[in-house]
């Protein structure tokens, strides 16, 4: 029986349920998905804990064999802006690496995940590529597909060491809860320069950028913030190598009846002068409308 593990939130598929590939004999679902709140040190069985598994459809008239592998995106695939590639693809693996599927049938790939139990791996946004490679048939045709998995490790404010990567934020998720429209509220984050040299950073709203596929980033049940100007922050920062600075985030939701009992989200994209990117996920929940408002 599937059980739900508290702390692991698996969101809806981001690019639809099925992806049709080069030939009709191979379909894979889902094409991409995102996993939030992964805690370093814990072993996750995605199917046992959330019900998600990779489904491979064989629409051919002959049996097919597929090999399932995991990769860093620089080796195979690509990844979304603001995410980095997973440091080690072996932190994700399939329960069975080779699947044999009968004609007009389907098989399932069961993914496991375990990030090492180190403080630097909290507050991370990574992508890992799942490779599906078919063994060549009689005609020499070998089908292949890539599935991207966005992994966000648990947000944690009280870490004992600097976060992994060229850019780090602590925490990686800022929650403004119980917000009363018309009243200002402030939160803080720490921005880390993980490189040896001094870097200059720009901080800007991300979800309003025209070429951003919002569904790739938005958390389930949250809408984009109606006006990114409600979230005020420093737009530029210079940080010495292997150092950090504190940044203040101020939220001003206008006093309006329409803004009660809402769930909004914004991403602040952080870009270094060297081109590296990261982001802070900001979630906002306003209170229900008070009687007599």
**Is pLDDT at 11 greater than 50 in this prediction?**
no
49-91: per-residue pLDDT in tens?
889 999 999 888 888 899 999 999 999 988 889 999 999 999 9
Task: Confirm if 189 and 247 have CB atoms less than 8 A apart.
Answer: yes
Instruction: Mark out the alpha helices in the chain (DSSP H runs).
Output: 46-50
283 confidence band (pLDDT: 50, 70, 90): very high
Task: Give the burial string for 102-125 (b: 16+ CB within 10 Å, else e).
Answer: eeeeebebbbbbbbeeeebbbbbb
Judgement on whether residues 202 and 105 belong to the same structural domain of the protein: no
**Is pLDDT at 110 greater than 70 in this prediction?**
yes
2 confidence band (pLDDT: 50, 70, 90): very low
Judgement on whether residues 129 and 14 belong to the same structural domain of the protein: yes
Q: Are strands 125-134 and 144-153 parallel, antiparallel or unpaired?
A: antiparallel
Which strands make up the sheet holding 43-45, listed edge to edge? 43-45, 111-114, 92-94
Judgement on whether residues 87 and 190 belong to the same structural domain of the protein: no
Percentage, residues of the chain above pLDDT 70: 88
Structural domain boundaries enclosing 181: 167-286
Residue 136, domain member (yes or no): yes
Burial class (CB in 10 A: 0-12, 13-18, 19+), 45: middle
Quick one: average pLDDT of 107-133? 97
**Is pLDDT at 7 greater than 80 in this prediction?**
no
142-174: per-residue pLDDT in tens?
688 899 999 999 999 999 999 999 999 999 999
**Is pLDDT at 181 greater than 50 in this prediction?**
yes
**Is pLDDT at 20 greater than 80 in this prediction?**
no
Quick one: average pLDDT of 31-45? 94
Torsion of CA 52, 15, 154, 80, to 10 degrees: 140
- Pick from 185, 208, 184: nearest CA to 267: 208
More confident residue, 78 or 183: 183
Number of domains within the chain = 2
Residue 21, domain member (yes or no): yes
Percentage, residues of the chain above pLDDT 90: 73
In sequence order, what are the residues at sequence separation of 6 or more whose Cβ sits closer than 8 angstroms to the Cβ of residue 210? none
**Is pLDDT at 6 greater than 90 in this prediction?**
no
The predicted pLDDT at position 135 comes to 77
Single pTM value for the model: 0.90
**Is pLDDT at 22 greater than 50 in this prediction?**
no
Judgement on whether residues 113 and 226 belong to the same structural domain of the protein: no
Residue ending a domain, choose from 95, 120, 153: 153
Q: What is the CATH number of the domain that holds 226?
A: 2.60.40.10
Judgement on whether residues 187 and 282 belong to the same structural domain of the protein: yes
Q: Let me know how many helices (H) and strands (E) the chain has, helices first.
A: 1, 24
25 confidence band (pLDDT: 50, 70, 90): low
Residue 179, domain member (yes or no): yes
Structure tokens at 4: 């739900």
Quick one: average pLDDT of 234-263? 97
Tell me the average pLDDT of the chain: 88
**Is pLDDT at 221 greater than 50 in this prediction?**
yes
Residue 160, domain member (yes or no): no
Residue 291, domain member (yes or no): no
Residue ending a domain, choose from 153, 181, 202: 153
> Which of 4-13, 44-53, 136-145, 247-256 has maximum average pLDDT?
247-256
Judgement on whether residues 109 and 197 belong to the same structural domain of the protein: no
138 confidence band (pLDDT: 50, 70, 90): low
Give pairs for 271-277: CB < 8 Å, separation 24+.
Answer: 271/201, 271/202, 271/204, 272/166, 272/167, 272/193, 272/195, 272/199, 272/200, 272/201, 273/199, 273/200, 273/201, 274/166, 274/195, 274/199, 276/166, 276/167, 277/81, 277/82, 277/167
The predicted pLDDT at position 224 comes to 95
Residue 95, domain member (yes or no): yes
């Amino acid at each position: 029986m599937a059980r739900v593990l508290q702390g692991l939130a698996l969101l809806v598929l981001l690019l639809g349920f099925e992806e049709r590939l080069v030939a009709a004999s191979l379909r894979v679902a889902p094409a991409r998905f995102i996993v939030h709140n992964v805690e370093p040190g814990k072993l996750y069985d995605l199917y046992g804990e959330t019900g998600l598994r990779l489904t491979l459809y064989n629409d051919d008239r002959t049996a097919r064999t597929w090999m399932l592998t995991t990769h860093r995106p620089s080796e195979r695939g690509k990844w979304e802006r603001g995410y980095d590639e997973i440091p080690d693809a072996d932190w994700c693996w399939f329960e069975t690496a080779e699947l044999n599927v009968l004609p007009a049938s389907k098989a399932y790939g069961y993914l496991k995940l375990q990030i090492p139990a180190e403080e630097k791996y909290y507050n991370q946004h990574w992508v890992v590529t799942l490779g599906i490679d078919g063994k060549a048939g009689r005609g020499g045709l070998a089908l292949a597909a890539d599935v991207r998995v966005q992994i966000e490790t648990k947000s944690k404010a009280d870490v004992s060491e600097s976060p992994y990567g060229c850019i780090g934020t602590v925490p990686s998720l800022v929650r403004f809860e119980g917000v009363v429209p018309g009243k200002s509220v402030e939160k803080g984050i720490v921005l880390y320069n993980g490189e040896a040299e001094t870097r200059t950073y720009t901080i800007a709203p991300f979800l309003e950028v025209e070429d951003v596929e919002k569904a790739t980033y938005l958390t389930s049940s949250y809408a984009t913030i109606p006006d990114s100007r409600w979230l005020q922050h420093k737009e530029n920062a210079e940080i010495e190598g292997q150092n950090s600075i504190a940044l203040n985030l101020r939220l001003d939701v206008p006093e309006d009846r329409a803004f009660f009992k809402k769930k909004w989200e914004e991403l602040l994209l952080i870009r270094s002068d060297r081109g590296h990117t990261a982001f802070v996920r900001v979630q906002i929940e306003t209170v229900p409308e008070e009687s007599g408002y």
